[in-house]
Amino acid sequence: MTENDFQNLIGWNDGKDENYLRQWAGPTYKYPLTLEQITTSAKRAKEENIRMFMILNDKKPIGSVSLGGINVENSTAHVFRFIICDEEKNKGFGSSALKLLSLFVFNDMKLKKLLLNVYCYNVGAIRCYEKCGFLVKEYRPADDPKWNGYKIIRPMTEEDFQNLIDWNDGKDENYLSQWAGPTYKYPLTIEQIYARAKEENNLMFTIVRDEKAIGGVDLSGVDMKNSAAHICRFILCDDEKGNGAGTAALKQLSSLAFNEMKLKRLSLYVYCYNVGAIRCYEKGGFLVKEYSQADNPKWSSYKMELVNAL
């Protein structure tokens, strides 16, 4: 990045609010963003071994990313201040830039680990990072829930996978099918969960109470073009059933989908015999839209939907 590029950062933030600035820049820039802040940051970057890059498309600047916290001894670096201009979002440029930056770090700088922080509500960014091979390793709560993610749901990490195994310990094949449908095979294994986590357009969340994992839920088939997604693999541990945690998690996931991801329709399937789950979904605003009859009546199901009226 050169001084001639600084104005691009200002332009990409024109008309945006304080939340937008914090979303991509974290606490390093203060609202409103000024040339003075960027100039000062660039001078400090030279002193602190921070590298500031521009992202280009046909030589035209479309974004920026910085690399800091370079620690040769520990062979690590930190990716931050990552922005793509509005016109070029959702075209794969973010993923491409991050992959090129990763190659530079690993092949040219000979480092072994890249780190980054992302706000839990920023699902689009999380999806971009996952496509580039990044995995969630740590959850950091903040005083303001907006900046930690959620009081009730948070992105699922590898450390959470064992919880799914434990919650199914001693259960039969019918129990697994009840909450996971046909996607997992009995008995549930870590390998199956890892495979599911790598699926494109599938977001896995952990349901928490006082930061303790008590359940899980997936948002699958995320279709930004048609503004729709599907809720599935919804489970609560036995100790937390019947106390409202499921309904609270469902409402918060719906809020995330509608308010942050800008989706318009959510769907889910539920077996007709699972009256407790149906009641939970109805409390979350879902309505039965379709009935599917199976050869075995036990596995007949309802399709339920929730539409964002705003």
Asked if residue 131 is part of any domain, the answer here is: no
pLDDT for residue 139: 62
**Residues 278, 173 within the same domain:** yes
Asked if residue 251 is part of any domain, the answer here is: yes
Number of domains making up the chain = 2
DSSP letter (8 states) at residue 188: P
Structure tokens at 60: 């035209």
**Residues 213, 89 within the same domain:** no
**CA angle (305 as vertex; 299, 310 as ends), nearest 5:** 170
**Residues 284, 168 within the same domain:** yes
Mean pLDDT across the chain: 90
Last-in-domain residue among 90, 117, 144: 117
Give the DSSP per-residue string, 228-295.
EEEEEEEEE-GGGTTSSHHHHHHHHHHHIIIIIS---EEEEEEETT-HHHHHHHHHTT-EEEEEE--S
**Residues 181, 297 within the same domain:** yes
Alpha carbon distance 105, 77 (integer Å): 8
φ/ψ of residue 267, rounded to 5: -130, 165
Q: Are 207 and 152 in contact (CB under 8 A)?
A: yes
Last-in-domain residue among 71, 99, 117: 117
Alpha carbon distance 274, 197 (integer Å): 26
**Residues 164, 78 within the same domain:** no
Q: Could you tell me if residue 49 is left (phi over 0), alpha (psi between -120 and 50 degrees) or otherwise beta?
A: left
**Residues 215, 290 within the same domain:** yes
Asked if residue 186 is part of any domain, the answer here is: yes
The larger pLDDT score, comparing residue 49 to residue 303, is at: 303
Condensed to tens digits (0 to 9), the pLDDT of residues 27-77 reads 889 999 999 999 999 999 988 889 999 999 999 999 999 999 999 999 999
pLDDT at 127 over 90: no
φ/ψ of residue 44, rounded to 5: -65, -30
Portion of the chain with pLDDT greater than 70, in percent: 94
CATH of the domain at 265: 3.40.630.30
**Rounded average pLDDT over 120-135:** 79
Q: Are strands 228-236 and 265-271 parallel, antiparallel or unpaired?
A: parallel
**Residues 236, 283 within the same domain:** yes
pLDDT at 151 over 80: no
Q: How confident is the model at residue 126 (pLDDT cuts 50, 70, 90)?
A: confident
Q: How confident is the model at residue 135 (pLDDT cuts 50, 70, 90)?
A: confident
**Residues 111, 161 within the same domain:** no
Q: Are strands 60-71 and 51-57 parallel, antiparallel or unpaired?
A: antiparallel
Asked if residue 183 is part of any domain, the answer here is: yes
Asked if residue 59 is part of any domain, the answer here is: yes
Asked if residue 140 is part of any domain, the answer here is: no
**Residues 297, 157 within the same domain:** yes
Asked if residue 276 is part of any domain, the answer here is: yes
Q: How confident is the model at residue 149 (pLDDT cuts 50, 70, 90)?
A: very low
pLDDT for residue 125: 84
Last-in-domain residue among 62, 90, 117: 117
Condensed to tens digits (0 to 9), the pLDDT of residues 214-272 reads 999 999 999 989 999 999 999 999 988 888 888 888 988 998 898 888 899 999 999 99
**Residues 25, 75 within the same domain:** yes
The range of the structural domain enclosing residue 18 comes to 3-117
pLDDT for residue 148: 45
pLDDT for residue 61: 97
Alpha carbon distance 233, 177 (integer Å): 9
**Rounded average pLDDT over 130-150:** 63
pLDDT for residue 121: 66
Q: Which of 82, 116, 78, 101 is nearest to 12 (CA)?
A: 82
Q: Which amino acid is at 61?
A: P
**Residues 93, 195 within the same domain:** no
pLDDT for residue 273: 94
Structure tokens at 53: 């890059």
Portion of the chain with pLDDT greater than 90, in percent: 68
In the β-sheet with 212-223, what is the strand arrangement from edge to edge?
153-155, 203-209, 212-223, 228-236, 265-271, 301-307, 287-292
**Rounded average pLDDT over 139-165:** 71
**Rounded average pLDDT over 79-95:** 94
Burial of 270 (0-12, 13-18, 19+ CB in 10 A): buried
Asked if residue 135 is part of any domain, the answer here is: no
